[in-house]
Structure formats: C-alpha cells, structure tokens
Amino acid sequence: MEAAQQSCRDDKLLADLGTAATAVTQALNDLLQHIKKGAGPTAAGESHEDAVDTILTVTDRLFSSVGDAHKMVRQARQLAQATSSLVGAIRGEAEGHSDSDMQKRLLAAARLLADATANMVEAAKGCASSPNDSEQQKRLRGATEDLRAATNIAASNALKRKLIRRLENVARRIASATTQLINASKNANKSNTNKTSEHQLTQQCQIMNEQLPLLIQGFRGSETNQDSATAQLQLINASKEFIQPASQLVSAANAAAPTVGDQAASMNMNQAVKTMTTALAELRTASGKAEEMCISLEVDAALDQLTELDRELEEYRRTADSGNLVPLPGETVEASAMKLGSTSKNVGSAMAQLLTAASQVNTDKCIMETEIL
C-alpha cells in the first residue's frame, strides 16, 4: 500500500486498492480465528490422505511462487484451509479412540499442527501487507516449511502409506514405459545411419536391461511386504538409482531419432520417449516425496535386521538347550565358526546402520516428535 500511495495519484484507484487490501487482511484474520478455535470433526468422506495430499501439493506451489507475494498469499490461504480440515480430522479420530495414550498423541499432534498453521497465517498477513518486502516472503516460506514438517508428523503413518503406494504405482508405470522404449529403440536402431548414436543407444538399452529388474524387485517387494521398512527403503533407493540411467536412455533415443531411416520406427520411438519422459518426471517427484516423508525408514530397516537376527539366535539357543543342535550334513566346526563370524559382522553392520541413520534424522523433526510424546 505504501508503494502504491507514493507512485499513484488516482484517488479512486487508491481507494479500490485499500478496499482490496482490507478484504485480504480480514479474510486472513477470519481464517486465523478459525484455526485458533480449531475445526470440528470433518464430514464423512473427507480423509487424512486428501488433506495431506493437498498440503504437499500447495506447499510445493508456494515454494515455487517466492518472489510473487500475491501468489504466495493465495497459496497460504488454500494451505490453511487444508490444514484446518486435517486438524479437524485428527481431533475427530482422537474422540473416537478408546486408547487414552493414542488419544493424547493425536490431540497433541492436532495442537502442533494448529499452532504451525496459525504461525503460517500470521506470516501470510505480513506478506499481504508488505508484498515487496523480501523478508516477509522469507518468513512466510519458513513458516510454510514448519507447517509441512508438522503435517508430516501429525499424519505420518497415513502419509507414509499413501506415498509408498503412489511410488509403487509410478514405479510399475515407468517399468512398463522403459520396456516399451527399449523395444522401440532396438527396432529404430535397425535403420539408424549414424553408428555413433546407434552404439550409444544400444549401450543405454543394455544398461537399462540390467537396472530394470532391480526396480521391479523393489515395487513387488514393497507390495508383498507392506509393513516392511526394509522393502520400502529398497523401493525408494531403487527408484532413485533408476532416474539417472533412465534419463540417459531418453537422451540417447532423442539423439538417435534424426538418423533413423524407418519413419514408422522413428515415430514409434518418439512416442515411447514422450511416455517415458512423463513417467520419469512422476518417478522423480514420487521418490522425492517418499524419501522426505519416510526419513525414519533407515532406522526402521536397521531394527528389522536386528529383530530378524535376534529371532535366529533365539531359535539356535532353544535348539541348543534341548540338546538338538546337531551339525547339518557336510557341516564342520570350521564352517560353523565362519558362519558365526559372518553373523556377528551382520549384527555390527546393522548397529552401524542404525546409529548412522539416527544421527542423520532431522533435528527439528525430533524436537516436534518429542513434543507429541
């Protein structure tokens, strides 16, 4: 408003601008009051997943709108409405819980999310009042990052399941798209007049033929073992490792296309490239969001390994106590000693992985989880 008053002499325009600014401030004030009071339980049919999905999408838009205060404020209003729905859903879930400890955790998560939303709305008000102030925009971005982190904690289990399921579906689609592109590339290469691009495309196809089974194993393992942190972590890692060679295959196909003599084969390869490019963008986004949300998976996977090793050792102990621990056919003392050494190394490796993962967990996330506990 101050900048407009200094540069504009039209009283009518200034009056209109003042009215609009007042309306924005009033709307944000109303929204802030709504957040502070807390939304009631959401209507039937509204789910945590829908609200969380909206929050993740809108926060991404807000981050990309830095520099345009008006867009940031619009995204902030939409974000506050989504978090208000999520707060109501969590409180509604808490009211229906018979477990008092779980009820307390849910209510604490709802309070944490409501407070983060209120802080974000306050930052949005400052941004709306001073749209040319970069510090206000920086403050709004920071508040939005805090809100996203609070959302991750408040709806962590539901969000993890949703993001992993989404990554499984995206991985399955890109596996299909990769197969189509490899087949189309091989067919197009038959009439490729450029030996260099032909060789590069053939090489990339070979690389992808080696990489593809790892991705397939990743999403199949996650689908089969839905509660396994190890399987989920393997899916995320396989997806991330798939992105670079897949991008190189797309580049090699694009480079070879102009020198393919068979027009039908060239068109088929170009269409496969378009499909692959879309699927690749989806994989990059899905794996990034899953990795961000599932930051504790490394710890969980390490614990899974320790639990399995502990189970095996307990079985050996019971067998030994009952006097039934006898060597297998062909088993020797030396071989058993080597196996024991290998198992001990696995335990040490799992412990090291656990400690490393624990040390890398985001400090702010730990603090907020402590508040909930």
Encode 142-207 in three state secondary structure. Answer: HHHHHHHHHHHHHCHHHHHHHHHHHHHHHHHHHHHHHHHHHHHHHHHHCCECCHHHHHHHHHHHHH
Instruction: Give me the chain's average pLDDT, please.
Output: 80
Structure tokens at 34: 């709504």
Cα separation, 146 vs 365, in Å, equals: 10
| pLDDT in the model for residue 47 | 58
Are 259 and 208 in contact by the 8 Å Cβ rule? The answer is no
Q: What is the pLDDT of residues 65-80, one digit of tens each?
A: 888 888 999 999 888 8
* Intrachain domains 2-154 and 159-293 with the same fold: yes
* CA distances, 194 to each of 31, 183, 250 (Å): 63, 19, 17
Question: CA–CA separation, 39 vs 110, rounded Å?
Answer: 10
Cβ burial, residue 223 (10 Å; 0-12/13-18/19+): middle
Q: Is residue 118's pLDDT more than 70?
A: yes
Where exactly are the structural domains of the chain? 2-154, 159-293, 299-372
Query: How many alpha carbons lie under 13 Å from residue 344 in its C-beta half-sphere?
Result: 6
pLDDT of residue 91: 83
Residue 26: pLDDT over 50: yes
* Confidence at residue 44, expressed as pLDDT on a 0 to 100 scale: 32
pLDDT at residue 48, rounded to an integer: 67
Element (H, E) at 258: none
229-256 vs 263-293: helix crossing angle, rounded to 10: 150
* Higher pLDDT pick, 129 / 22: 129
User: Tokens 């989920």 sit at which residue?
Assistant: 232
Per-residue tokens: 196: 């260099």
Measured N-to-C along each axis, helices 134-154 and 363-372 cross at an angle, to the nearest 10 degrees, of: 50
CA–chain centroid gap for 336, Å, is 43
d(C-alpha 242, C-alpha 238), whole Å: 6
Condensed to tens digits (0 to 9), the pLDDT of residues 288-342 reads 888 876 666 666 666 777 777 778 878 877 877 787 777 777 777 777 778 878 8
pLDDT bucket at 37, cuts 50 / 70 / 90: very low
Mean pLDDT of 180-184: 95
Orientation angle between helical segments 69-95 and 48-64, nearest 10 degrees:
160
Long-range Cβ contacts of 330-338 (<8 Å, 24+ apart): none
- At 207-227, the pLDDT tens digits run 999 999 999 999 999 999 877
Closest Cα to residue 233, out of 301, 161, 157? 301
The 10s digit of each residue's pLDDT in 276-288 is: 999 999 999 999 8
Percent share of the chain, pLDDT over 90: 32
- Report the predicted TM-score, pTM, of the whole model to 2 decimal places: 0.54
Q: Residue 205: its pLDDT value, please? A: 95
Of the two residues 180 and 289, the one the predictor is more confident about is 180
Q: What is the pLDDT of residue 104?
A: 83
Q: Summarize the confidence of residues 347-366 as an average pLDDT.
A: 66
Burial class (CB in 10 A: 0-12, 13-18, 19+), 329: exposed
- Which of 59-63, 184-188, 318-322 shows the lowest mean pLDDT across its residues? 318-322
pLDDT digits (tens, 9 = 90+) for 122-176: 999 888 888 888 898 999 999 999 988 888 777 776 677 778 889 999 999 999 9
Say if CB 135 and CB 353 are below 8 A apart. no
Percent of the chain with pLDDT over 70: 78
Q: Count Cα atoms within 13 angstroms, Cβ side, for 78.
A: 17
257 vs 10, higher pLDDT? 257
Locate 98 and state its tokens. 């018979």
CATH superfamily of this structure's domain 159-293: Alpha-catenin/vinculin-like (1.20.120.230)
Q: What is the DSSP letter of 260?
A: B
Instruction: Give the pLDDT score at 130.
Output: 87
On the CB side of 103, CA atoms within 13 Å amount to 8
How would you label 25-63 residue by residue, b for 16+ Cβ within 10 Å and e otherwise? eeebeebbebbeeebeebeeeeebbbbbbbbbebbeebe
Beta bridge partners of 192: 260
**Domain 2-154, CATH 3.40.640.10 — does that match?**
no
Of 83-87, 232-236, 313-317, which gets the smallest average pLDDT?
313-317
Residue type, 126: G
- The DSSP bridge partners found for residue 260 are 192
Name the residue with higher pLDDT: 234 or 359.
234
